[in-house]
Structure 1
């Protein structure tokens, strides 16, 4: 009997989705996750170095699971997290902000900063407020819900909730 790789393990996940030559697999995942309209679906993606450069020697070293760039110039970070370390919100915003700010070059206008998308695949229940397994966050005004900007998009995909829906036959195969 052939033993299959568990894609929840960082190494296996990175080998399938973040390895040069596997861009079509990553592209299919991104199009399914981002649920873009047909005319805006991604047609190419570039896998980037997952290391976030330190500005100072005392800065925390950070290595993303997957860092990619779409043909529109959008940066995408995909993280898979097996255990709940109770820091997901801050960890997500930290990685998002580092990727977003790393785009800035000397003399570059702020208007050239590209959208940055973070996708977190979690092997634990994270958001108690919902039973949806895939949630998406943006920056909106509190009362009237209009967007401040479209440059921030954060996804959480919770595997335990997906499995519950699967067992209830509440998701498509």
Structure 2
């Protein structure tokens, strides 16, 4: 799409809310089409393609049962033909917690054997990410039974995090599974709770035969039609994912929702980054103040009272 048009779409997004866009997508697209017509272009020739790293696009892809079946099979390491059924559950685990201000668009899947999966797409690291994963894992596991029901009803739960950032900087492993294990023997304590982490930024250049998860990771990290086309040739499920992606990208309403969600995510991440920078600046200023007072002969207790911070923090700074 021409820069001229993108500038005007950006103006639309800055003036109206996500809900307004969803409710009035036909009118907005009529305006966009008119602009394109005046510029001698069309929606069909601008080569636009959605990116799966935007959670709206990812959740829409997972609504396709064939795509979902192929990806889930890769995650649990079995041929797709062996999966009887995958059912989407209502996304009800989030929405009322501090990090959920933007809305949770995770994918909740129920397998035929009772196994539950929560799949999330995350593009930016935030503080206490590990604790958040454990919280949602525990909530998914305990939500299976009600008070008075037997524990034997509890089925395996798998939390899958697809990350567009590096979370484990000390190694090159792009895909890992995590279980509860005995510290001495290394034996798995239980397989009822499992965490899978896919780090897109660590993807290897070459994919070895049989690494279906890596193929899906390459697809999710694609940035152009050419990249998606190359990966889609690997199997019928990835090909279905690419066809679904093209269909979604040509859909007027979904495209508007995608663009609005992408902008909301960018704005939110920008606010977080700005807040982090301000926090670092305030931290540096507070450290200088603590040292200045300490050099003036103030006690840690007095410094803590003046600066409004715990005395333990003061001692940590001046040590």
1:60 to 97, 105, 112: 97
Name which of structure 1's ranges 84-93 and 118-127 shifts more when overlaid on structure 2. Answer: 84-93
Q: Distance in 2 between matches of 1:98 and 1:171?
A: 36
Residues 106-117 of structure 1: pairs in structure 2 closer than 5 A: 106-117=147-158
Q: Once the 2 structures are TM-superposed, how far is the Cα of residue 64 of structure 1 from its aligned partner?
A: 4.9
The structure showing larger relative contact order (alpha-carbon pairs under 8 Å, at least 6 residues apart) is 2
Quickly say closer, same or farther: Cα 1:40–1:140, change in 2 above 3 A. Answer: farther
Q: Distance in 2 between matches of 1:147 and 1:67?
A: 25
Q: Once the 2 structures are TM-superposed, how far is the Cα of residue 40 of structure 1 from its aligned partner?
A: 9.6
1:118 to 132, 155, 159: 159
Residues 71-86 of structure 1: pairs in structure 2 closer than 5 A: 71-86=112-127
Residues 20-35 of structure 1: pairs in structure 2 closer than 5 A: 22-35=64-77
**Contact in 2 for aligned 1:52/1:64 (Cα 8 Å):** no
Secondary structure at the residue paired with 1:50? coil
Q: Distance in 2 between matches of 1:40 and 1:140?
A: 31
Q: Distance in 2 between matches of 1:41 and 1:132?
A: 27
Q: Once the 2 structures are TM-superposed, how far is the Cα of residue 129 of structure 1 from its aligned partner?
A: 3.3
Partner of 1:129: 170
- Deviation readout 1:72-115 (Å, 9 max, x if unpaired): 11110001000011322111111111111111123211121011
Partner of 2:197: 156
- When the two structures are aligned, how many residues end up with a matched partner? 161
Name which of structure 1's ranges 152-161 and 86-95 shifts more when overlaid on structure 2. Answer: 86-95
Quickly say closer, same or farther: Cα 1:151–1:64, change in 2 above 3 A. Answer: farther
Q: Once the 2 structures are TM-superposed, how far is the Cα of residue 43 of structure 1 from its aligned partner?
A: 2.4
Q: Provide structure 2 residue ranges, at least 5 long, that are not aligned to the other structure.
A: 1-44, 210-230, 232-319
Measured on the aligned residues, the alpha-carbon RMSD in Å equals: 2.2
Q: Distance in 2 between matches of 1:124 and 1:88?
A: 12
Runs of 4+ in 1 over 2 A off after TM superposition: 38-43, 59-64, 169-173
Partner of 1:14: 59
Q: Distance in 2 between matches of 1:93 and 1:136?
A: 14
Would you tell me which structure has more helix in proportion to its own residues?
Answer: 2
Q: Provide structure 1 residue ranges, at least 5 long, that are not aligned to the other structure.
A: none
> TM-score, with normalisation over the residues of structure 1?
0.84
